[in-house]
Chain A
Amino acid sequence: MRAAPYLLCVPALVLFAGVVIVPLVMTVLLSFHDWGQYKGIEPVFILKNWQEVLGDSYFHEMFARTFRIAFFVTLLAAVFGAPEAYILNRMRSPWRGIFLLVILGPLLISVVARTLGWALLFGGNSGIVNKALMGMGLISAPLPFMFTETGVVIALAHVLMPYMVLAVWASLQRLDPQVENAAVALGAGPFTVLRRIVLPQVMPGILSGAVIVFALAASAFATPSIIGGRRLKVASTLAYDEFLNTLNWPLGAAVAVLLLLALVAIVWGVNRLVERRYAQVFA
Chain B
Amino acid sequence: MAFLELEKLTKSFGAHNAVDGLTLGVEKGEFVALLGPSGCGKTTTLQMIAGFVEPTSGAIRLGGKDLLAIRPAKRGLGIVFQSYALFPHMTVAENVGFGLEMQGVGAAERRTRVGETLELVGLGAFASRFPRQMSGGQQQRVALARALVIRPQILLLDEPLSNLDAKLREGMQIELRQIQRTVGTTTILVTHDQAEAMALSDRIVVMNQGRAEQIGPPHEAYERPATPFVANFLGKTNLVDGATVRPERISFVAAGLAGTVRTRIFQGNHWLFQVDTGAGLVTVIRQNSGEAMPGEGDAVHLAWEGRA
Contacts and interface: CB of A to CB of B under 8 A. Distances in A.
Contacts of A176: 83, 85
A183 interface: yes
Contact of B146 (A186, A192, A200, A280): A186
Contact of B130 (A178, A192, A200, A281): A281
B136 to A, nearest CB: 14
Interface in A10-47: none
Contacts of B88: 179, 201, 281-282
Contacts of A281: 88-89, 130, 132
Interface in A165-198: 176, 178-179, 181-189, 192, 196-197
A182 B81 contact: yes
Interface string B127-145: 0001011000000000000
Nearest to B80: A182
Nearest to B47: A181
A178 B102 contact: no
Contacts of A98: none
B81 A186 contact: no
B89 A186 contact: no
A236 to B, nearest CB: 37
Interface size bucket, B side? 20 to 34
Interface string B84-97: 01111100000000
Contacts of B85: 176, 178-179, 181-182
Chain A interface secondary structure, helix, strand, loop or mixed? helix
Interface string B60-86: 000000000000111111110111011
B99 interface: yes
A283 interface: yes
Indicate the member of B52, B74, B85 with the most A CB atoms within 10 Å: B85
Interface residues of A, number: 21
Contacts of A179: 85-88
Nearest to B99: A186
A200 B50 CA distance: 25
B150 interface: yes
B73 A184 contact: yes
A188 B78 CA distance: 13
A189 B73 CA distance: 7
A280 B50 contact: no
A101 B74 CA distance: 39
Contacts of B273: none
B98 A183 contact: yes
A187 B77 contact: no
A196 B95 CA distance: 11
Interface of B: 50-52, 72-79, 81-83, 85-89, 98-99, 102-103, 130, 132-133, 146, 150
Interface of A: 176, 178-179, 181-189, 192, 196-197, 200-201, 280-283
6 shortest interchain CB distances as A-B pairs:
A187-B102, A186-B99, A178-B85, A182-B85, A200-B89, A178-B81
26 contacts: A178-B81, A178-B83, A179-B87, A181-B52, A181-B81, A182-B79, A182-B81, A182-B85, A182-B146, A183-B87, A183-B98, A184-B52, A184-B73, A185-B51, A185-B75, A185-B77, A185-B79, A186-B99, A186-B150, A187-B73, A187-B102, A188-B73, A280-B130, A280-B132, A280-B133, A281-B130
